[in-house]
Structure 1
Amino acid sequence: MDAPRPAEPGRPSADRPGERGERRETERRDLDLLVWDAPNIDMTLSAILGSRPASSDRPRFDAIARWFLAEAADHEVEGCVFTNVHPTSAVSLRGWIEALRNFGYAVFARPKVHPEDDVDDAMLQHIASRQASHRLRRVVVASGDGRNFLGPLEELHRAGVRVVVLSFAEVAGYAQESALIEFVDLEDVPGAFQVSLGRTRLTALPPDGGWFRPTRPMRALLEDGPPLEHPHHPPPATEPAREPAREPAREPAREAEPPRTAADAASGSTEDPPGRAAPGVGEVGRVPAGPSPRARTG
């Protein structure tokens, strides 16, 4: 497959040193750059859905490209997808990579042999190389990985580059909390998803309200066994806690100890009562998405 090629260095000329530097600066073209962290977006999507995403749950890269181009004006544009390739998935990924290339994306693929074989460094290196070869106007980074991207992206902003993080609000807190980075939720990109992901987004409710479907049937509670005693209810008055009868000890009078709380009495100790953990959230019921809201920046 064709790998993204770095910009070729300028050819030497016989110009005076000052003129050469000025000419090279004017020859640098304006560029809007999109870099997509495929492993991170896929992992985040799986966590949101509670299961491996189906094809209909995955973002449409043609819609992402159209959204990206809408604000590119007449600048040069480049979209790059960075991915890992496990030895067992090389064959199945071929069609996906070819589809991306057909949409105009360059694809950087790295073998995933060891756990540390990530693509974050390659993404940052590519951004730096484009910053050296072009005048970066806008950089869109599709990743929720603030540990690796927060510092470099804020430095880009200080250098005069408009920086946008494209991810999910559940994981991209670093971008939403930064005063230097714009944030766009992936589900706000028009046409990016064929169906609603069923997320609990209380900050994006429609004016007339909206429904959140249950994550599992109510009858599933019958399979959880007997209900647990509520830890904050006092014990029934007809069944007071009793201790074995014993001869009262003759001790000097002393102040009574403070009574235990109702919660302590119910559990039998000062610690939380044992019991089953809350049931895990299953796959969220999803419905066809309506008209997508306009992408927001924050």
Structure 2
Amino acid sequence: MSDIHESTHHYSPGAAPGPDGLLLVWDAPNLDMGLGAILGGRPTAAYRPRFDAIGRWLINEANQLSAELHTRLEPEATVFTNVSPGGADVVRPWVEALRNVGFAVFAKPKVTEDSDVDPDMLAHIERRRSEGTLRGLVVASADGQNFHETINELIDDGLPVTVLGFHEHSAWALSDDAIHFVDLEEIPGVFREPLPRINLDKLPDEGACLQPFRPLTSLLNSRQGS
């Protein structure tokens, strides 16, 4: 764990003002949970998102926004993730691969149930906003409770906002006409194989089993009454 901190400690999201740009923040714990719910278990290599494809999509989005605003925008992307105690060896290759693609990584130890990365993501967005360099935002997360208010503020300020996620878990974004929603599977090359998705509006005649978002035993770690 210490070496991950050493490799990322010099990077505090938004530590130095950047050029005007399109910012992507990626909520790894949240999207991993959503993907696991679709698959009914831990994703295999065939079902893990390819960040090179996401990077190319973001570059294209930045170019399109540049044309609309008649100014040159730079794409910027940061993946926010938790690292469980003793889990550094498992996470390290993934972190290094992301950085090689061109993504920054903010890694935070998962010490307690409340050690989420959402506040860090919101702080990064607010930092870019206060610097005056934010020209567009892409939020890759299904957590509308934490991000919806900030997204609405940015939209009110005239900034375009896109939400990346899975339509099964993003009703909050899909129901908001001001938010541009993109399902991850719509981005070319993100998944090597089609996801085995179940649409409640188009169920097979024999029915389908929808897997839980988390194991029942997770209740033992949650606060009573939460």
2:141 corresponding residue in structure 1: 143
Q: How does 1:1-298 map to 2 (within 5 A)?
A: 1-2=7-8, 3-4=11-12, 6-8=14-16, 29-73=19-63, 74-201=72-199, 280-281=209-210
How far 1:170 moved relative to its partner?
0.6
Give the drift of 1:4.
Answer: 3.7
Go from structure 1 to structure 2 and tell me whether the alpha carbon gap of 1:8 and 1:196 turns closer, same or farther (over 3 Å shift). Answer: closer
Q: Equivalents in 2 of 1:40, 1:190: separation in Å? A: 22
Task: Give the SS at the match of 2:87.
Answer: helix
Q: Counterparts of 2:210 and 2:188 in 1: how far apart (Å)?
A: 28
Between the aligned partners of 1:65 and 1:148, the Cα distance in structure 2 is: 24
Question: Is the 2:13–2:124 Cα contact (8 Å) retained in structure 1?
Answer: no
Tell me how large the CA RMSD over aligned residues is: 2.3
Which of these two proteins has the greater Rg computed from alpha carbons? 1
> Equivalents in 2 of 1:52, 1:103: separation in Å?
23
Q: Find the aligned partners of 2:204 and 2:129 in 1 and give their Cα distance.
A: 44
Is the Cα contact below 8 Å between 1:84 and 1:119 reproduced in 2? yes
In structure 1, what residue type is equivalent to 2:185? E
TM-score, structure 2 normalization: 0.79
Structure 1 pair 156–92 and aligned structure 2 pair: CA distance change class (3 A)? same
Instruction: Determine which structure has greater relative contact order: mean sequence separation of CA pairs < 8 Å that are 6+ residues apart, divided by chain length.
Output: 2
Q: Structure 1: which 5+ residue stretches go unaligned?
A: 10-27, 206-210, 217-279, 283-298
Q: Which secondary structure state, in structure 2, belongs to the residue aligned with residue 88 of structure 1?
A: coil
* Counterpart code for 1:180: A
- The one-letter code sitting in structure 2 at the alignment partner of 1:133 is E
Helix, strand or coil at the partner of 1:70: helix
Deviation at 1:88, TM superposition (A): 2.4
Amino acid corresponding to residue 36 of structure 1 in structure 2:
W
Change (3 A) 1:41 1:5: closer
Structure 2 residue identity aligned to 1:60: R
Q: Deviation of residue 109 (structure 1)?
A: 0.4
Sequence identity, in percent? 48
Tell me the matched-pair count. Answer: 195
Matched AA of 2:159: V
TM-score (norm 1): 0.61
Q: After TM superposition, where is structure 1 displaced by more than 4 Å over at least 4 residues in a row?
A: 211-216
Equivalent-residue separation in structure 2 for 1:68 and 1:123 (angstroms): 18
2:224 aligns with: none
